[in-house]
Amino acid sequence: MTDSAPKTRLNATHISIFVAALSLCTALYQGYLNTQAVGVFSRDVTHRETMRSCREAVEYFMEAELRIRRLASANRSVYGEKEIAEMAFEARRTVTRFAAVATYLANFNAAKLREPYTAITGNLEALVTNAQAGGLTDTGPVEARFYALNENCVASVTPTK
């Protein structure tokens, strides 16, 4: 009977080591899965924020364009200087909102795209100034530049395969 006792202890030791090694492997694999999950969540948040910013840029651009056109077509004999100044203020405020979102988007793109975002904002500000002075406004060139940048925005949030 003395021979069987050490074999049982040896088997129990092997089983304990095997269970410990299995637990270690399970913990390592679980850590790997958690790291992958954090990466997926991080990419999802980045994707959603970029999509939200692209949507806001479109909204603010369209709103700015609408306000600029309204200001340009305002009948000076019907509206007083105070109303014209308020329309211009609202148009500038919307352009500033667009500029903020455009700056946010430009910071996450290549350096070559920062200048066009800034140029569009400058063009919108010039259109507001021209519209407030009673001049005609042609938003076509600014629209074309914006839509080209919008295509880039859409491409940056479209998943690649």
Q: How many angstroms separate the Cα of 87 from the Cα of each of 31, 74, 148?
A: 57, 9, 28
User: Tokens for 45?
Assistant: 């948040």
Residue 70 near residue 90, CB atoms below 8 Å? no
User: Tokens for 5?
Assistant: 């006792």
Give the pLDDT band (50/70/90) at residue 5. Answer: low
- Residue 133: helix, strand or coil by DSSP? coil
Mean pLDDT of the chain: 84
Q: What percent of the chain has pLDDT over 90?
A: 34
Structural domain count, the chain: 1
The pTM for the full model equals 0.72
Residue 72 near residue 135, CB atoms below 8 Å? yes
User: Tokens for 120?
Assistant: 């569009």
Res. 6: pLDDT tops 60: no
Q: What range defines the domain where residue 131 resides?
A: 4-157
Which one, of 149, 25, 131, lies nearest residue 79 by Cα? 131
Q: What's residue 3's pLDDT?
A: 55
- pLDDT, tens only, 125-144: 999 998 888 877 788 888 88
99: region left, alpha or beta (phi > 0 left; psi from -120 to 50 alpha): alpha
Res. 52: pLDDT tops 80: yes
